Amino acid sequence: MTISRRTFLNGSLAMLLGSASFSQVGAKNSFSSYPFKLGVASGYPRPDSVVLWTRLAPEPIKVGGGISPEPLEVKWEMSLDEGFLKVVRSGKKAASPRYAHSVHVQVPGLRPSTTYYYRFFAGDAVSPVGRTRTAPAPDSLSAVSFGFASCQMYEQGYFTAHRHMAQEDLDLVLFLGDYIYEHSWGDNLVRKHEGPEVYSLDQYRSRYACYKMDADLQACHARFPWVVTWDDHEVDNDYANDLAEDLESNFLSRRAAAYQAFYEHMPLPETFAPHSSDMQIYQALDFGKMARFHVLDDRQYRDHEVCPKPGRGGSNIVADCPERLDPKRSILGFKQEDWLAKSLKDSPAAWDVIVQQTLMAQVVRPGRKFWTDGWDGYPAARKRLLEAASKRAGTSTLVVGGDIHAYAVADLKLDFDDARAPVVATEICGTSISSQGPDLKATEGWMQANPHIKYFNGTARGYVTVTLKKEEANIALRAIETEKKPDASINTVASFVVERGKPGAKRS
């Protein structure tokens, strides 16, 4: 089911009328132009609730969003139909300048497995209409379909993949990090960021606004509820906990600004609001008895990367680095590790989906070298996670990831160097929305050197769809023709099936 042409035209008409009629008078809820230019979004669906989001910003790139620094009243309503003849919930919310006039509404009292439509009002302005869906009832064993994506470098390509994903039949979208990029890089750029590398809260807000004005990204947000985690580029490339890649002083202040901007622009519950430089985003969401999504944060609590380049922090590719194997090292932090082990143990679901940022499978490079910014920099932590995931009988574990700008399908083992070691979980790593892929010469031997990696493709951009059923999971790797054309077509480059209780993906 798609948002109808009528709904789209109504939203567009509201935008045009708003742009023409608003005057800058300084009166409360009076705007210089249409205030909903960043669209609408929903997220974190439960059987009886969902979070709605928008941000008032008539001049999104401008400091302050083009609004006077005072709280503004925003009304919202939710309906069973897109014409809003069957409104079931409505209310008011203060959009505070503290959080860039963003609005996060957790709507209670909803029915499970139900499609709703929602919109916002500010002054005379009406937002575009969004569509969302609640999670299934706790005892449901109905199928669950979700998509996942990551890494959308604005300058390197168009967000055409989001437009195609918005046409899929999904219950949920998972976004696995690098929603924005804090600096410019790459080849064959098709458009430009609004400014240079970002450091301050105002700069991060402008960078998010630049991304969120993209029509294809807005369409995908308006079509499905999203659940999000972050990776490094929401703050700084390769940062680890309190350490920046270039060892900059006072990095926690920059991180605090980045985390706040992330909260302001994502459909997150208000309970996620940051405190000082910290912000807890890891949590579990149940979709009946079919799936539990364990959403992880592998940046905020990790130990610093080992054996960095001289005078630098961040990643390196190393062979001789005994510190890498230290069992006291963690990529999640031991508090989060303990939480995850309990979440897996207590899971009622047929499928446990571990939602994290990067490729989990071991990747041995020529000279038996390992990349230290990913799980290969924390192999003891990876083993602890997989041990916890393999303890519960009668279930199957899927690990989903991104970051590497390539599709990868892999068998996960407690000992990757033992060809006879049993497979304990299945990994599906998605490629990027638009960020350029790895060098072919550097990765063409991955499958030969790492036989547990069953499929690898770094040339395509796109996303992944997964449908979980009682006995199997069906997986499609969806790739666009090119990220350099806004009207690019899409196709399925590979599809796989995973049988419940039999880890390991098979081509289908």
Domains in the chain with CATH codes: 5-133 (2.60.40.380), 144-507 (3.60.21.70)
Cα–Cα distance measured from residue 58 to residue 73, given in angstroms and rounded to the nearest whole number: 15
With contact defined as beta carbons under 8 Å apart, do 222 and 131 qualify?
Answer: yes
Classify residue 1 as exposed, middle or buried by CB count within 10 Å of its CB (0-12, 13-18, 19+). Answer: exposed
Lowest mean pLDDT across 14-28, 67-81, 111-125, 151-165? 14-28
Q: Looking at residue 448, what is its pLDDT? A: 85
**Residue 8 confidence (pLDDT) above 80:** no
pLDDT tens digits, one per residue of 406-419: 999 999 999 999 99
**Residue 24 confidence (pLDDT) above 70:** no
With contact defined as beta carbons under 8 Å apart, do 300 and 87 qualify?
Answer: no
Classify residue 108 as exposed, middle or buried by CB count within 10 Å of its CB (0-12, 13-18, 19+). Answer: exposed
Of the candidates 301, 290, 132, 168, the residue with the CA atom closest to the CA atom of residue 229:
301
Encoded tokens for 134: 């609640």
Q: Looking at residue 437, what is its pLDDT? A: 94
Q: Looking at residue 11, what is its pLDDT? A: 45
Q: Strands 172-175 and 225-228: what pairing?
A: parallel
Q: Residue 16 — very low, low, confident or very high, per pLDDT cuts 50/70/90?
A: very low
**Residue 18 confidence (pLDDT) above 70:** no
Enumerate residues 6+ apart whose C-beta is below 8 A from 325: 379, 380
What is the spatial order of strands in the sheet that 502-507 belongs to?
A: 102-107, 49-55, 40-46, 225-228, 172-175, 144-149, 461-468, 472-480, 490-499, 502-507
Q: Looking at residue 29, what is its pLDDT? A: 55
CA distances from 506 to 142, 410, 453 (A): 23, 10, 12
Q: What is the pTM of this model?
A: 0.94
Q: Looking at residue 19, what is its pLDDT? A: 35
CA distances from 252 to 248, 276, 374, 458, 507 (A): 10, 9, 22, 34, 45
pLDDT tens digits, one per residue of 77-88: 999 999 999 999
With contact defined as beta carbons under 8 Å apart, do 155 and 184 qualify?
Answer: yes
pLDDT tens digits, one per residue of 88-134: 999 999 999 999 999 999 999 999 999 999 999 999 999 999 999 99
Q: Looking at residue 259, what is its pLDDT? A: 98
**Residue 6 confidence (pLDDT) above 70:** no
pLDDT tens digits, one per residue of 439-471: 777 777 788 899 999 999 999 999 999 999 999
Cα–Cα distance measured from residue 42 to residue 119, given in angstroms and rounded to the nearest whole number: 11
Of the candidates 389, 376, 380, 345, the residue with the CA atom closest to the CA atom of residue 452:
376
**Region 371-381 average pLDDT:** 98
**Residue 250 confidence (pLDDT) above 70:** yes
Of the candidates 210, 216, 114, 212, the residue with the CA atom closest to the CA atom of residue 160:
216
Q: Looking at residue 385, what is its pLDDT? A: 98
Cα–Cα distance measured from residue 248 to residue 243, given in angstroms and rounded to the nearest whole number: 8
Enumerate residues 6+ apart whose C-beta is below 8 A from 137: 47, 112, 113, 288
Cα–Cα distance measured from residue 65 to residue 328, given in angstroms and rounded to the nearest whole number: 45
